[in-house]
Amino acid sequence: MLLQIKVKVKINLLKDFAAKLMSGQLDRSLIISETYCEKNDPTVGISYWKVDDMEEFENKFSLWKHFYEIFEVKEVVTAKEAIISLFSQK
């Protein structure tokens, strides 16, 4: 299962967040992409995670939540899977 994670970082926790990331205290093993941030609002970022199920995601993401004002989680598919799905609907 592929998940798109869009977050808004709590700016007052940015130093602590960066320190935990740099020291490896936050598990990045499920993240399959670079995190990209919005140019006009660098507190907003998007990354992609590959998980077996939502329970696995929740277990890994629980430590990250503390650093976010808001977060959105959406299941996504590859472009190939989307095309197959679209053609099978006809």
pLDDT digits (tens, 9 = 90+) for 20-78: 999 999 999 999 999 999 999 999 999 999 999 999 999 999 999 999 999 999 999 99
pTM for this predicted structure:
0.89
- 35-39, long-range: CB < 8 A, 24+ apart: none
- Give the DSSP H or E segment for 46: strand 44-50
Domains of the chain: 2-88 (3.30.70.100)
b/e map 75-86, b = 16+ CB within 10 Å: eeeeeeeeeeee
pLDDT of residue 89: 85
